[in-house]
Structure 1
Amino acid sequence: MANPFGEIEKALAVLGQEAEVIPAVGPARLDLAAPDAEETYDRMTSGEAATKGIWETEPGKGLYRPLRPIHRRQGSALRHFVAGTARVYYLGTVLERERSSPIQFAQIGAAAIRRRDDGTVRPASAGMRVENLLILNGILSPQLLERFQHALPAGTRLITTSARSGGSAEPRSRGAHAANEAMRALQQSILEQLQEDPPPVLDGSLGNEYFNWTSGSLLAVLKSFRQESRFTIGRGIRPRDQPTLFRLLNDLPPESRTVVFPRITAEHPDGSVVFWYVRLHALSPAMRTSPLMGVIKVEMPNAGAQCVPTELVDRLSARLLAERTVAPYGSGARWHAHLYPLYLAGRLVRNRFHSEEVIRSGLRWPATAPAASKDGAQR
């Protein structure tokens, strides 16, 4: 069987000709964003940790509202679900005089699942996007980056990062978050083709690119989210009117949602995006090791920046509740927060990726000697 990464290895050889390369110890290694990329992106884009006020028309007296799942036969079901996946591998480090950069390879992809009238789910006509990326630090010389870019095969894209990328000073973390952002761009390109009611459901946070969203209604679901959020209810005089996220979710009953809160950022302090939390499952004390287990965060664009109708939020939350996954305990770190169609969309993308075994055996540094200087000494 031919090496599927043979052409990429030829491009990597260009780096070895122009600079020194220190390969990773052993084969390519999977790089995981730490903390979780979804949680980090939520922290970067969701503005201030402190949120003030309730952003719905009829919130009632409490902080929670009970829900009853609205299944397909009881009304118009949610139709489209869009998920993406990014896997990043560390290949080595390139040294160019006083400059250095990690070399990372990423597989990214996004896909949409459509729920049909009979309840079955199938890949949507909006299709699937899968790309290969090579990620370098933009501190390397333009000449080296240009030569490397020209050597890359069709279907493989070069991404460069800077000190401002990904909110991290560690270059490999920046690379992982750059891959995540590229994956989100693939998700957005699919969403732009899904203009219909009920709204499509996105797996992941609504970043800054969605503040001026004009392609119809949209819901975003997060299984991992920032944990330092604080809330001020009413005048916020009493301690119970200033709950932390821990306190807010600790008392959230199963099959219920919180009230709606505005996202407040320096650029958009007016609730252009709103969010709330839904507890999907009643977990036993042995399984529920954290108040966040079984909870999803739901975000929605709010172009008018007005309080959203409570009835609308109840209806959308109840439809999401009907899509929860009956997942066995321990089947993945976030089994307790899966929505079944989003889980299928993510798996559809992962099935198009090369396995870790193929990448580890196929992406090895070419067996070439280090580049030599004019006097023949190795650099």
Structure 2
Amino acid sequence: MALKTVSDVMRDVFDGSGFKCLVHEKRNLDEDPYSEYSESDQRIRGKLFESPENRAIRTVPTTGVDEKTPSILTYFMDGSRRVFRFSDIILTDGRYFPVLAGQVGVAVLKRCEDGSLSPMRQYLRYENILVLPNTIDGPDQQAMRDVLSTSMKVQFQVADYEAGSSGGNASEDYINKGTKRILDLMHDLELGAVASMMANRDLRDDAMLVIDGSLQFRKEVLDRNKFPIGQLGNMVGISKSFTPSQPVAGMKGGKHLGTILQELEFGQRTPVFKAGDDVYAKVLGVWYLRIRPRQKMSSPLAGVVKVEVLANGSETDDGLNGDRVDHLSALILSERNVTPYGSDNRWANHLYPIHLTESYLKSGFLSDVYFKGLL
């Protein structure tokens, strides 16, 4: 029996329910995934969060980093996604929704005693996902799962995005909602890997995990995974992008973040700010660090990264300890080379171990041509 595509399965399952499945150009929605002004996480709150209090730009002392001493930045994690639009569906009442498919994955690399990086294959995960509007009821979704599992060589998880009970309006972007749903499922894999690392006692004060992106997972994702925020305590979030037009309080020289960051010299950092909502509001500290000389950058904010760390102990009341912030900043500076110049348009904001982790993870994705063929 010939193997079917996802579109074949949709037509087989939904024709009996009166739904009409339309062929759409199979388009990768991540073709332009990077903007230096994009930000998916919560913005800084503007309140300073450092002890002793610091309101000024500070040059990071690097004398405390000894190349002969193993870095406490031991593990590096990357979660990646690819999202495709490949079909549209018309319901019996005339509503019209897009159908998306995606690949998500997570990988972790560990620094070995000789300084090299080695993949931790026990934490490597990939998932293929079909995302439908939640107006497709449970029995029809289950029928999709059953037929997909028996009719296709490559397995797909079936999920849905919030479409509401009305016909929608021009302000509702269902493609964006579906894409966020796939992103949430990628975060599920990341949190699952962190939970496993905690259970295996990999993460400690002297063996921290650096994650590519923000530590600010959505509350719904944390709740769904029953993930206590305290398990993020031995982690550092490094974001390559942020919003420069957000307001900043407590510092001289500018009302917006970008005004301050464009003046950072190589090796300088901002004070620590409070950031986040919900469970993060009292414990998350954020600062910005320039990891490359600005004179050699193609744009004012290239070479600046956003760093996120959770407060621990007395830091919750007093703010992040300035010496700890300086030490972590110095360690981050030491990770910037070898530079992945030319292989990624975000090279100036990359830490090299994160670049290697991302490259390792993406090498295991199905090719776009093959994946489109499955759809």
How far apart are residue 185 of structure 1 and its match?
1.4
1:288 aligns with 2:298: yes
* CA distance 1:176–1:139, shift in 2 (3 Å): same
CA deviation map 1:252-296 (0-9, x unaligned)? 11122111111153x3585311110111111435x432x321111
1:82 to 77, 80, 83: 77
1:226 aligns with 2:237: no
Aligned partners of 1:10, 1:77: CA distance in 2, in Å?
51
Aligned partners of 1:12, 1:314: CA distance in 2, in Å?
55
Amino acid at match of 1:183: M
TM-score relative to the length of structure 2: 0.82
* CA distance 1:34–1:226, shift in 2 (3 Å): farther
How far apart are residue 35 of structure 1 and its match?
7.4
State the partner residue of 1:29. 27
CA deviation map 1:31-54 (0-9, x unaligned)? 139875994421xxx25x5512x2
- Provide the secondary structure at the position in 1 that maps to 2:326: helix
- The answer to whether the Cα contact below 8 Å between 1:83 and 1:202 also exists between their aligned partners in 2 is yes
- The answer to whether the Cα contact below 8 Å between 1:211 and 1:273 also exists between their aligned partners in 2 is no
1:119 to 102, 115, 121: 115
How far apart are residue 11 of structure 1 and its match?
2.8
1:96 aligns with 2:91: yes
Question: Which runs of 5 or more residues in structure 1 are unaligned?
Answer: 235-239, 365-379
1:189 aligns with 2:192: yes
State the partner residue of 1:341. 353
State the partner residue of 1:277. 288
State the partner residue of 1:147. 143
Question: Which runs of 5 or more residues in structure 2 are unaligned?
Answer: 165-170
- Provide the secondary structure at the position in 2 that maps to 1:84: strand
Aligned partners of 1:155, 1:72: CA distance in 2, in Å?
45
How far apart are residue 331 of structure 1 and its match?
2.7
Aligned partners of 1:329, 1:35: CA distance in 2, in Å?
18
- Provide the secondary structure at the position in 1 that maps to 2:146: helix
How far apart are residue 173 of structure 1 and its match?
1.4
Aligned partners of 2:281, 2:180: CA distance in 1, in Å?
28
* CA distance 1:264–1:349, shift in 2 (3 Å): closer
Aligned partners of 1:148, 1:294: CA distance in 2, in Å?
46
CA deviation map 1:119-155 (0-9, x unaligned)? 1111025420100000111123444323223322284
* CA distance 1:90–1:348, shift in 2 (3 Å): same
Query: Comparing 108-117 with 143-152, which one deviates more in the overlay?
Result: 143-152
- Provide the secondary structure at the position in 2 that maps to 1:73: coil
Aligned partners of 1:113, 1:225: CA distance in 2, in Å?
25
- The answer to whether the Cα contact below 8 Å between 2:253 and 2:259 also exists between their aligned partners in 1 is no
* CA distance 1:339–1:112, shift in 2 (3 Å): same
* CA distance 1:320–1:163, shift in 2 (3 Å): farther
Aligned partners of 2:8, 2:32: CA distance in 1, in Å?
31
* CA distance 1:94–1:270, shift in 2 (3 Å): closer
Amino acid at match of 2:298: R
1:137 aligns with 2:133: yes
TM-score relative to the length of structure 1: 0.81
- The answer to whether the Cα contact below 8 Å between 1:14 and 1:148 also exists between their aligned partners in 2 is no
How far apart are residue 334 of structure 1 and its match?
0.8
How far apart are residue 77 of structure 1 and its match?
4.1
Aligned partners of 2:360, 2:305: CA distance in 1, in Å?
22
- The answer to whether the Cα contact below 8 Å between 2:340 and 2:355 also exists between their aligned partners in 1 is no
- The answer to whether the Cα contact below 8 Å between 2:103 and 2:129 also exists between their aligned partners in 1 is yes
* CA distance 1:201–1:231, shift in 2 (3 Å): same
State the partner residue of 1:323. 335
* CA distance 1:243–1:341, shift in 2 (3 Å): same
CA deviation map 1:76-122 (0-9, x unaligned)? 34110010110011111011122332111101000000011101111
* CA distance 1:198–1:58, shift in 2 (3 Å): farther
* CA distance 1:348–1:12, shift in 2 (3 Å): farther
Amino acid at match of 2:177: R
Amino acid at match of 1:227: P
* CA distance 1:157–1:282, shift in 2 (3 Å): same
Amino acid at match of 2:325: V
State the partner residue of 2:311. 302
2:10 to 5, 9, 12: 12
* CA distance 1:333–1:65, shift in 2 (3 Å): same
How far apart are residue 355 of structure 1 and its match?
0.7
Identical residues among aligned pairs (%): 24
- The answer to whether the Cα contact below 8 Å between 2:215 and 2:232 also exists between their aligned partners in 1 is no
Aligned partners of 1:110, 1:6: CA distance in 2, in Å?
28
CA deviation map 1:40-81 (0-9, x unaligned)? 421xxx25x5512x2111355622233428364245341100
Amino acid at match of 1:222: S
